[in-house]
Structure 1
């Protein structure tokens, strides 16, 4: 099974706690590990990859312990944040060396397949030192994929990429996830996670602040207000009616329509249609205006 599981995992360095009692389970598909710089994302990934021993708790990859278990690397691939690609090698030489290190039965065939996956076959004989940032990153992904792992971990994979390179990498990761791989990538850029993955693990100050679909997480935050933009056939009539709804804390009329503040997502969404129908008002737009990942993240950090 290609699952990644952390059970009560902590990691500390002297008096500094980098990761504090994190428990999570990640299965096939794309999962974003989200948090500000210094939140502990890299430490969590290194624990998953078996590069660090947990000070407390257990990390399991596909049913096997990650730490002090070289066999786990048969099913695991890692792309670190720091570039450590020898520029004097070609992509072919680099990926082939990785295949040989894994002692694959046909390293040349595996290297060709990995380079094909990341669309580097045409440039495989050029030295990596002459590659763009995006191409260097793809060569590193190819080396991590050469043994066809079930689990792929990537630390800030989009750093330094231009928009075209970022889009290509997103398409690549999305395609691999559809094949059934478990892919975990870290990022502090909210838009990257929002575009690529509906599932997030939010790390704040070394703790798991939230886990799951970011829209669902937002709706569970009942102590925070929700804001909707609503357009209708008669905004003024609807605004007057909504002011009498207990779940509505405020209504204002803007150019895009009504801005409605509510403290109870479920109660409001259930009442809205009934109120509009009773007043003979036709609803044309209902848009939660604060459900972007950026809003969710800011709420989690300040809670």
Structure 2
């Protein structure tokens, strides 16, 4: 049961603090590392993969330091987000090169290419690959030695829906086999579909940890802001403001709409159509106006 432990770990670059006193444990199964762009996810993965040294604290694999420990690479596979690759090689040559670094033969490379369903393009130059194909050949390279730990940085970027489903199925299987799989994402839906456990980072800090459904409920309980257009905005505002599910309503003359802050999400979603029907008001637009991840994670940090 392979486990990565991050203990009071920080990493800074000059005056910029990328990771700030983070403690978390990544164990067998699929874990989602979730956070907005720039939150420190890539820095954490680079420290877990042995590419960066912690400025303070420790990052260990089953108790052994990862930084400058060649032995851990027998257990770890890394799929980085960055696009830099050897474009003059074919996909097969790229994966074979990594197999040889592990003392393995061409058969291991062929198995890895088959696992990610890239056999059909293995003899094409990487320079001709789409972003999704590049992601899959990087995945094959990371899997060539059958690692017990797989670290993926934004692995679904550039993939079409079919490729995304194939990769999700593969990661689920690996998690079910007892491997330790960590993938980063800034997209809630990707994490919800795949990860049973979630770690949330915001601005370099560890904001939340645990079962995805519990954290999702935390997010749902936060104040929601909606942009609403109707056939009679002022009458609708007057009818809604008296209900405790709304904390404030602003008439936006420039947008020709209401900006509503709802503090009871469930009640408000039932109340709005009922009030509109009772007053003969037609709802033309109802859309959330603050559903960015930054607003979600800011709420989690403040909670």
Aligned residue for 2:156, secondary structure, equals coil
Give 1:71's aligned residue: 71
Equivalent residues in 2 for 1:39-188, closer than 5 Å: 39-104=39-104, 107-188=105-186
In 2, are the aligned partners of 1:194 and 1:293 still within 8 Å (CA)?
A: no
Q: Following the alignment from structure 1 to structure 2, what is the Cα–Cα distance between the partners of residues 39 and 111?
A: 34
> Does residue 203 of structure 1 match 2:201?
yes
In 1, are the aligned partners of 2:155 and 2:183 still within 8 Å (CA)?
A: yes
Give 2:234's aligned residue: none
In 1, are the aligned partners of 2:81 and 2:155 still within 8 Å (CA)?
A: yes
Q: Following the alignment from structure 1 to structure 2, what is the Cα–Cα distance between the partners of residues 222 and 255?
A: 17
Residue 88 of structure 1, CA deviation? 2.0
Q: Following the alignment from structure 1 to structure 2, what is the Cα–Cα distance between the partners of residues 190 and 87?
A: 32
Residue 12 of structure 1, CA deviation? 1.6
Q: Following the alignment from structure 1 to structure 2, what is the Cα–Cα distance between the partners of residues 203 and 64?
A: 24
Residue 182 of structure 1, CA deviation? 0.8
In 2, are the aligned partners of 1:214 and 1:293 still within 8 Å (CA)?
A: no
Q: Following the alignment from structure 2 to structure 1, what is the Cα–Cα distance between the partners of residues 219 and 165?
A: 32
Give the 3 Å change call, closer, same or farther, for CA 298–169 of structure 1 in structure 2. Answer: farther
Q: Which runs of 5+ in 1 are unaligned?
A: 227-242, 259-291
Give the 3 Å change call, closer, same or farther, for CA 254–168 of structure 1 in structure 2. Answer: same
Q: Which moved more, 1:185-194 or 1:170-179?
A: 170-179
Q: Which moved more, 1:33-42 or 1:130-139?
A: 130-139
Give the 3 Å change call, closer, same or farther, for CA 293–24 of structure 1 in structure 2. Answer: farther
Give 1:265's aligned residue: none
Residue 131 of structure 1, CA deviation? 2.2
Give the 3 Å change call, closer, same or farther, for CA 218–86 of structure 1 in structure 2. Answer: closer
In 1, are the aligned partners of 2:41 and 2:184 still within 8 Å (CA)?
A: yes
Residue 55 of structure 1, CA deviation? 1.1
In 1, are the aligned partners of 2:195 and 2:212 still within 8 Å (CA)?
A: no
* Structure 1 stretches of 4+ moved >6 Å: 220-223, 255-258, 292-295
Aligned residue for 2:82, secondary structure, equals coil
Residue 217 of structure 1, CA deviation? 3.1
Q: Following the alignment from structure 1 to structure 2, what is the Cα–Cα distance between the partners of residues 166 and 134?
A: 9
Q: Following the alignment from structure 1 to structure 2, what is the Cα–Cα distance between the partners of residues 120 and 80?
A: 18
Backbone CA RMSD of aligned residues: 2.9
Q: Following the alignment from structure 2 to structure 1, what is the Cα–Cα distance between the partners of residues 272 and 222?
A: 25
Q: Following the alignment from structure 1 to structure 2, what is the Cα–Cα distance between the partners of residues 176 and 42?
A: 22
Give 2:22's aligned residue: 22
Residue 63 of structure 1, CA deviation? 2.8
Give 1:192's aligned residue: 190
Give a deviation string over 1:35-69, Cα, whole Å, max 9, x none. 11111111111111111111111101133211111
Give a deviation string over 1:106-150, Cα, whole Å, max 9, x none. x11211111111112232222222222222211110001101111
